[in-house]
Amino acid sequence: MKITVVGAGAVGATCADNIARKELCHELVLLDIKEGIAEGKAQDMMQTAALLGFDTRITGSTNDYTKTANSDVVVITSGLPRKPGMTREELIGVNAGIVKGVAENILKYSPNAIFIIISNPMDTMTYLTLQATGLPKHRIIGMGGALDSSRFRYQLSRHLGCSPADLNAVVVGGHGDTTMIPLIRLATWNSVPVTKFLSAEQQQQIINDTMVGGATLTKLIGTSAWYAPGAACASMVESIVRDEKKLITCCVYLDGEYGQKDICLGVPVTIGRNGWEKMLDFELNEDEKAAFAKSAAAVRSMNDVLKTL
């Protein structure tokens, strides 16, 4: 098993570190456009192997795509991170060209790879990768829902005073501060609906805090978060390489499902060796359907920007 992470910044390096610690592959390649960054971080991680007890071989490369040849899974984190006050939408113009170029170069050397997209705006970048590569839709997956759902469980755990691991809660829709939809109606604490333990005011506060989870961290630390995004992506990689068939909310291509066509949005799918393999219908209620349609409209307007580039 060989995995490539493109972009050796904070998110890419954290993702790679998680992959190595879990020994999800024999060979792990870090690629970056900035001279020496990928090589340096790869060496730094390899120097933890004896301390942490993993055998994954990590190498770094500056923009040499031949080193990525025959990768089974490719994670794309390339692009500019958000700065305070900047929306994911404002990144489209810059990051579209970067992500498109990366995907096309990767495909030259790894025609059978499954792609996981982290670059923002994630829904639009996932759609762009699908269009640019022409790959089967099951091999292009956006990470956003996995991260947003983890943030949702964190917010729930704060109010419930419980372990996030005891919670089952998902976020669907777009990966944006105004487009994600935390499905609190379906969230459970060891199979019991969380709504039994939370007031209406608490429920709304949890939803609001989940939706601005990324922006809150950007304001606090001055750039995009990296620990949770890196871990979220690594969990997806694990489900692929170990063929776990885990149900994870991911950004995937919709062709009529959930009432939407020709768009990539976060919905619950099983993740296995073939990429995303099966989509589940959560049977949204009328309010949730309306919110999902509104989310889709917002993402579609971002996708339309691609036509002007």
Q: Residue 61 forms beta bridges with which residues? A: 31
Q: How many residues does the chain have?
A: 309
Q: Centre a 10 Å sphere on the Cβ of residue 192 and count the other Cβ atoms it contains.
A: 9
The total of other beta-carbon atoms located within 10 Å of residue 39's CB is 16
- How many beta carbons lie within 10 A of that of residue 10, not counting itself? 18
Nearest C-alpha neighbor of 305 from the set 129, 121, 176: 121
Q: Which of 29, 26, 20 is nearest to 53 (CA)?
A: 20
Q: Amino acid letter at 56?
A: T
Query: Distance between CA atoms of 235 and 155, rounded to whole angstroms?
Result: 20
The question of whether 175 is a catalytic residue gets the answer: yes
Supply 123's token pair.
Answer: 């829904």
Q: Which of 91, 74, 73 is nearest to 82 (CA)?
A: 91
Report the chain's C-alpha Rg in angstroms: 19
Q: Which two tokens stand for residue 218?
A: 């950007």
HSE on the CB side for 87, CA within 13 Å? 11
Q: What is the dihedral of CA 270, 275, 277, 280, to 10 degrees?
A: 40
- Catalytic residue (one of 26, 138, 159, 175): 175
Kindly list the catalytic residues: 175
